[in-house]
Amino acid sequence: MITAESISFAYGDAVVLDGVEVTARPGQIVGLIGPNGSGKTTLLRTLYAALAPRAGQVSLDDVPIQTLHRRDIAKRLAVVVQEGGGELPLTVTDLVLLGRIPHLSTFQRHTTNDYAIAAAALTRVGARQLADRAFAGLSGGEKQRVLIARALAQQTDHLLLDEPTNHLDIRYQHEVLQLVSTLDVTTIIVLHDLNLAARYCDEVVLLDRGTIRAAGRPEDVLRAEVLEPVYRIRVQRVRTDDGFQLLFRPFDERDTSELAS
């Protein structure tokens, strides 16, 4: 379980998060949604202790994260961020093996077991055939699968992802999130696409200017009356055979005057 209690954070005098609370229960996928600048990525970074909140507390399975050593955090929590991997001259296998570092002692070399775990992780994400390829030469969808494989190689039961579908085409967006949904780990994921959040998240948390506007099941949060004041765009929800789809259009002058009132 991942718990954030009354989290506040500021860059200087600029408050980015103000009293935010999030809980992801075991096995759940919780989506962080909201407009640009709403605090989603900042909140995610406090959840894996890259940023220290000025108030509040983050806990992993009821253990305050600030009491854990960095290595212990890495054994319990895997993170996939947008810039992960970069253009480092690594093969796919080498990159996935980075996920085994928390389990190695200082100066210890990777064992046969580590290579087996890396291979199994690549197989799990459908990327075993990429093992000897240069990571920098992969497509966006392939890179995301490999980064998730690295997270799997850590063998944690908590996973954080920052916009894993960014820059991916529609097919890869769904393939990556379908993969995440099969992992059976506690997951918090930053998403911009509300329809993807509706389909793949058990719960969503809607952030707006550093505070929570709504939280709960997608069908309860992703409603026109909740979303329109936050995103300032018209929202129509259409029922489908397996759920619902959101349609969007800009406000016209009449809509804008209604919103202001």
pLDDT at 259: 58
Q: Please tell me whether residues 76 and 187 are part of one structural domain.
A: yes
Across residues 70-84, what is the average pLDDT? 85
Segment 85-106 shows an average pLDDT of: 85
Q: Which band of pLDDT confidence, cut at 50, 70 and 90, is reported for residue 251? A: confident
Enter the DSSP assignment of 136. G
Model confidence at 165, in pLDDT bands (50, 70, 90)? confident
Q: Give the mean pLDDT of 101-117.
A: 89
Distances (CA, A) of 99 to 69, 79, 148, 183: 17, 10, 10, 16
Tokens read off for 222: 């992703």
3 pairs with which residues across the strands?
Answer: 23, 59
Which conformational region is residue 214 in: left (phi greater than 0), alpha (psi within -120 to 50 degrees), or beta?
Answer: beta
Tell me: do 122 and 105 sit in the same domain: yes
Residue 199 and residue 106 in one domain: yes
Q: Answer whether residue 260 shows pLDDT above 60.
A: no
Band of residue 124 on the pLDDT scale cut at 50, 70, 90:
confident
Q: Are residues 82 and 58 part of one domain? A: yes
Q: What is the pLDDT of residue 183?
A: 87
| CA gap 7, 210 in Å, rounded | 10
Three-state secondary-structure class, residue 115 = helix
Q: How far apart are CA 40 and CA 163, in angstroms?
A: 10
Are 211 and 244 in the same domain? Answer: no
Asked if pLDDT for residue 207 goes beyond 60, the answer is yes
Answer with the residue of higher pLDDT: 5 or 166.
5
Q: Are 18 and 53 in contact (CB under 8 A)?
A: no
**Gap between the terminal Cα atoms of the chain:** 41
Q: Are residues 173 and 234 in the same domain?
A: no
Are residues 163 and 133 part of one domain? yes
Give yes or no for residue 84 having a pLDDT over 60.
no
One domain, residues 174 and 249: no
The reply to whether 251 and 194 lie within a common domain is no
Distance between CA 48 and CA 163 in Å, rounded?
15
Q: Do 78 and 182 fall into the same domain?
A: yes
The whole-number pLDDT of residue 191 equals: 96
How many other C-beta atoms can be found within 10 angstroms of the C-beta atom of residue 245? Answer: 14
Tell me what the mean pLDDT of segment 206-226 comes to: 96
Q: What is the pLDDT averaged over residues 139-155?
A: 89
Q: Are residues 244 and 132 in the same domain?
A: no
In the prediction, which pLDDT does 252 show? 78
Domain span at 250: 223-261
- Mean per-residue pLDDT for 161-176? 87
Kind of pairing, strands 211-216 and 203-208?
Answer: antiparallel
| pLDDT above 60 (res 163) | yes
Residue 97 sits in a domain whose CATH number is: 3.40.50.300
Percentage of the chain beyond pLDDT 90 is 74
- What pLDDT, on a 0 to 100 scale, did the predictor assign at position 83? 57
Q: Encode burial over 193-220: b for 16+ CB neighbours within 10 A, e otherwise.
A: bbbbbbbbbebbbbbbebebbbbeebee
* Per-residue confidence (pLDDT) for residue 126, from 0 to 100: 87
pLDDT in tens, 18-71: 999 999 999 999 999 999 999 999 999 999 999 999 999 999 999 999 999 998
Looking at per-residue confidence, does 98 or 86 come out higher? 98
The single residue listed with the structure tokens 């800009």 is: 250
Domains held by the chain: number? 2
Q: Using CA of residue 65, residue 69, residue 181, residue 35, what is the dihedral sign?
A: positive
d(CA 141, CA 100): 23
> Are 73 and 147 found together in one domain?
yes
Contacts of 141 (CB under 8 A, 6+ apart): 168, 169, 171, 172, 175, 176
For residue 257, what pLDDT is reported?
56
